[in-house]
Amino acid sequence: MNNNKMEGYVEWTSPSNIATIKYWGKTEDQHPLNPSLSFTLKNSKTITGIKYKRTRNKESSLKVIYDKTENVAFEKRIQEYLHKIKNTLPNISYYDLEINTRNTFPHSTGIASSASAFSALALCLYSIENKIMSEEDLHKVSNLARIGSGSASRSLYPNAALWGKTNLLVESSNIHAIDYTKYLHPIFKTLQNTILIINDEEKKVSSSQGHQIMSKNPFATTRYNQANQNLEKIIPALQTGDFKTYSEILENEALTLHALMMTSMPGYILMKPNTLQSIELINEFKHNTNLPVTYTMDAGPNIHIQYPKIYAKQIISFIDLKLKPLCKNQQIIYDEIGAGPERNV
């Protein structure tokens, strides 16, 4: 072992993200079957700290504490993850690790937490061995995060990120995501993302299972082509500030994602009655007011409503009046585009 550090503590805060072009379907080595594009969130974050100490034993130890309680299920997932990355970060296996992690968003609200969790974890593990100085380091951390959860590869960057090889961008890659900030029109840098918590129970089918059964979905090839075509249309919309085209693609991607779940074998539905009712009310509001407001969904029943900041007042009054009553315990998260991860210690 050539690392001099015997022990220490490192801590990062890393955000979740919301995909506009969805990643749904992957190869065995966690490469995506189509490119995806996401906005980085600001308030939905994971804070992870790692106490590390060079081990005195033959085998190093691992303890994972989630929200102040030891979490064996998460510990097992992280153990498997550490095994997968041991060739990339060889020194980590010489340390006893105590990982403390928590989310800023309420526990089990159905927000994709794997993106913030694995990006925060990858940042901490990488920082034990290296200083993050350059874009090249971020690409390496993005690769590490990808191995834990594909969408986590995109959480490393401010504003927006693209993951997956596409001929439309030479610097794109299946191995790591890239910073998409420079391709955004200023209006998208003010993007608001209000999350309706329609249901906060644990999903019956996880995203990992969802990705797996995509391989047998009869519409899989059509879907991967569609994602590429949608990316081709959304790129100029993001560049010119064309919110109308952006909305059409965003909604098409969200509905397609859920249609793919329904057309898998076995098929399943993650939306709830209040998900559909909210969508109808958003469509009606959009039609009546002509305001630039749109929605998307992750692999779950909750809805992310997006709009430029200048329209926040009118849109939030509509959300609070009409949509809040449809949310579980009236829970809403007022989130927006964010600046990416931060090192705390």
Residues lying near ligand PMV in the complex (CB under 6 A): 19, 22-24, 36, 112, 114, 149-151, 207-208, 211, 257, 298-299
Toward ligand PMV, which CB reaches closer, 36 or 109? 36
* Tokens standing for residue 299: 């692999």
Shortest Cβ distance from residue 91 to ligand PMV (Å)?
A: 26
Shortest Cβ distance from residue 300 to ligand PMV (Å)?
A: 8
Toward ligand PMV, which CB reaches closer, 208 or 263? 208
Toward ligand PMV, which CB reaches closer, 38 or 194? 38
- Say which residue the tokens 């801590």 belong to: 11
Residues contacting residue 156 through CB under 8 Å, at least 6 positions apart: 14, 119, 123, 138, 141, 142, 145, 177, 340, 341
> Minimal CA–CA distance to 224: which of 27, 25, 20?
25
Determine the Cα–Cα distance for residues 54 and 85; give it in Å rounded to an integer: 18
Shortest Cβ distance from residue 208 to ligand PMV (Å)?
A: 6
Shortest Cβ distance from residue 37 to ligand PMV (Å)?
A: 8
Tell me the Ramachandran region of residue 97: left when phi exceeds 0, alpha when psi lies from -120 to 50, beta otherwise. beta
Shortest Cβ distance from residue 85 to ligand PMV (Å)?
A: 16
Toward ligand PMV, which CB reaches closer, 54 or 77? 77
**DSSP for residue 155:** T
Shortest Cβ distance from residue 115 to ligand PMV (Å)?
A: 6
Toward ligand PMV, which CB reaches closer, 150 or 308? 150
Toward ligand PMV, which CB reaches closer, 23 or 81? 23
- Per the CB < 8 A criterion, the answer to whether 21 and 248 are in contact is no
Which residues, listed in sequence order, are joined to residue 163 by a DSSP beta bridge? Answer: 36, 177
> Minimal CA–CA distance to 317: which of 301, 328, 332?
332
Task: Please calculate the CA angle 305-246-301 and round it to the nearest 5 degrees.
Answer: 35
Shortest Cβ distance from residue 125 to ligand PMV (Å)?
A: 18
Task: Please calculate the CA angle 148-88-79 and round it to the nearest 5 degrees.
Answer: 45
Determine the Cα–Cα distance for residues 231 and 109; give it in Å rounded to an integer: 29
Toward ligand PMV, which CB reaches closer, 206 or 239? 206
